[in-house]
């Protein structure tokens, strides 16, 4: 390693030699940086899972514009919308078709005592074109009373429970004291608000949600005519619909707003974001302590070099060399351990926790920057020191 660094630096790798002079201190420093990396990786992984889980249900919808209650911040919260808004929207130039979307939570129960929550979506069977191809292909079968499409990746439910369903055999289960029969499947998995997903017809939805009305869906989905801009149509809708009670957004805008709300305003997103900040601070403090101690231990040697005429950038180069070494050696174990924890967390929680292609690079260069900052701070004492005062 020493020879490799000597070739890369074009000089004796003083920083490497100083760090490895005390192997115990070096190991402790690497462990500290690795822990900080691991902390950042885990927080980013959970934040990434939250983002994926937030946007995943939108993949089941095929619409251009969505009308929602003014207080609706996400796909699954907010007040209901008067169905009259759908009829108003149909009078606007550029709107081709519309459909109501109902959303609710049902509790899934099995005879063995298994309980899971299902995020339930519903619309009219005739409006299946507003659903993804995967759902629309099965949705026409839901004209049968109390039938559903169920998520075979529902958290807390063994996959074997749905084995016969995948072979075409209906699967009956209890919901709110009533029997609901799954005759089709979808795959999504658990999120932060529910353990799985369920699709039913609007009539089945209203049977299981007795207090809901067909005249008050959660959202209104709209499609625009070919060649017409959804943004232009959305502006036309905003001009005729009461802003005090409804909001009009393109589906892309609503997805972005939903994600921003989950990340920046919901406690969960704020906590995970704060965790990333804590990880960075931990890394900076650990590296600063190691490098400042190393500078203090070799202050007389540095003073000799300074008296010989070496400029401050020479010393800064040595300390930054040490910072870079700590960043690299700390990143590798942090990355490897986080991959294992991602796999374990995903298996236990069914959340989409995985390592995307950009995260390792982002964390690595962030680690380099944090270590470099720590190194620059650690050399401040040396920059202001008079060689004559150091002996």
pLDDT digits (tens, 9 = 90+) for 174-201: 888 888 999 999 999 888 889 999 999 9
Higher per-residue pLDDT: 305 or 177: 177
Q: Would you say 75 and 53 are in contact if contact means Cβ atoms under 8 Å apart?
A: no
Q: How much is the pLDDT for 70?
A: 94
Give the β-pairing of 196-201 and 115-123: parallel
For residue 225, pLDDT beyond 80: yes
- pLDDT above 70 covers a percentage of the chain that reads 93
The verdict on pTM exceeding 0.85 is no
pLDDT of residue 182: 92
Query: Where residue 316 falls among pLDDT bands split at 50, 70, 90?
Result: confident
Q: Report pLDDT for 318.
A: 80
- What local confidence, expressed as pLDDT, does residue 310 receive? 72
pLDDT at position 158, please?
81
Span of 26-30, 136-140, 218-222 with lowest mean pLDDT? 26-30
Across the chain, mean pLDDT equals 86
Nearest to 251, CA basis, from 243, 259, 239: 259
- For the beta carbon of residue 239, count every other beta carbon within 10 angstroms: 10
Q: How confident is the model at residue 62 (pLDDT cuts 50, 70, 90)?
A: very high
Please name the residues in contact with 156: beta carbons below 8 A apart, sequence gap of 6 or more. Answer: 114, 115, 116, 190, 195
pLDDT on residue 124: 94
Quick one: CA dihedral 49, 80, 93, 63, positive or negative? positive
Greater confidence (296 vs 199) lies with: 199
Where residue 282 falls among pLDDT bands split at 50, 70, 90? confident
State how far the Cα of 91 lies from the Cα of 22, in Å rounded to an integer: 78
Q: What is the pLDDT of residue 136?
A: 93
Q: What's the whole-number mean pLDDT along residues 229-235?
A: 95
Would the pLDDT of 64 be above 60? Answer: yes
Contact 149, 142 (CB under 8 A): yes
Exposure of 265 in the CB half-sphere (CA atoms within 13 A): 8
Looking at residue 67, what DSSP letter applies? E
Q: What is the pLDDT, as a whole number, of residue 349?
A: 82
On the question of pLDDT at 230 being above 60, the answer is yes
- Quote the pLDDT of residue 296: 73
Contact yes or no for 110/182 (Cβ under 8 A): no
Query: Cα–chain-centroid distance for residue 65?
Result: 24
- Amino acid 391: pLDDT: 55
pLDDT of residue 125: 93
Of all residues in the chain, what percent carry a pLDDT higher than 90?
45
Q: With bands split at pLDDT 50, 70 and 90, how would you rate the model's confidence at 280?
A: confident
What is the structure's pLDDT at 389? 55
Predicted local confidence at residue 29, as pLDDT: 85
Cα 82 to Cα 79, 129, 326, 332, distances in angstroms: 10, 22, 60, 55
pLDDT of residue 388: 58
Does the pLDDT value for residue 20 go beyond 80?
no
Query: 30 or 310: whose pLDDT is higher?
Result: 30
Q: Are strands 65-69 and 246-250 parallel, antiparallel or unpaired?
A: antiparallel
């Amino acid at each position: 390693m020493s020879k490799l660094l000597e070739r890369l630096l074009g000089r004796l790798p003083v920083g490497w030699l100083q760090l490895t002079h005390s192997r115990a201190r070096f190991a402790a420093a690497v462990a500290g940086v690795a822990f900080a990396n691991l902390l950042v990786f885990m927080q980013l992984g959970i934040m990434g899972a939250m983002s994926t889980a937030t946007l995943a249900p939108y993949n089941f919808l095929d619409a251009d514009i969505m009308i929602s209650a003014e207080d609706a911040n996400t796909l699954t919260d907010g007040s209901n919308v008067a169905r009259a808004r759908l009829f108003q929207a149909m009078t606007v130039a550029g709107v081709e078709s519309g459909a109501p979307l109902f959303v609710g939570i049902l509790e899934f129960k099995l005879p063995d005592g298994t309980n899971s929550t299902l995020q339930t979506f519903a619309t009219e069977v005739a409006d299946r074109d507003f659903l993804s191809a995967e759902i629309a292909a099965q949705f026409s079968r839901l004209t049968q009373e109390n039938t559903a499409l169920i998520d075979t990746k529902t958290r807390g439910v063994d996959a074997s429970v749905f084995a016969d369903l995948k072979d075409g055999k209906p699967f009956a289960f209890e919901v709110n004291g009533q029997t609901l029969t799954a005759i089709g499947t979808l795959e999504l998995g658990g999120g932060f608000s529910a353990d799985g997903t369920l699709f039913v017809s609007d009539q089945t939805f209203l049977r299981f949600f007795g207090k809901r009305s067909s005249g008050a869906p959660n959202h209104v989905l709209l499609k625009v005519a070919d060649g017409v801009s959804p943004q232009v149509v959305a502006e036309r809708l905003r001009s005729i619909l009461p802003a005090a009670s409804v909001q009009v957004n393109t589906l892309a805008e609503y997805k972005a707003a939903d994600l921003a709300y989950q990340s920046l305003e919901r406690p969960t997103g704020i906590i995970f974001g704060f965790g990333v900040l804590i990880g960075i601070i931990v890394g900076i403090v650990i590296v600063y302590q190691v490098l400042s101690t190393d500078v203090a231990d070799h202050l007389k040697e540095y003073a000799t070099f300074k008296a010989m005429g070496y400029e401050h950038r020479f010393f800064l180069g040595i300390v930054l060399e040490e910072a870079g070494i700590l960043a690299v050696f700390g990143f590798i174990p942090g990355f490897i351990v986080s991959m294992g924890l991602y796999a374990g967390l995903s298996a236990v929680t069914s959340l989409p926790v995985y390592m995307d292609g950009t995260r390792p690079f982002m964390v690595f260069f962030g680690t380099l920057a944090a270590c470099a900052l720590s190194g620059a701070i650690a050399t401040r004492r040396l920059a202001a020191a008079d060689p004559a005062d150091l002996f």
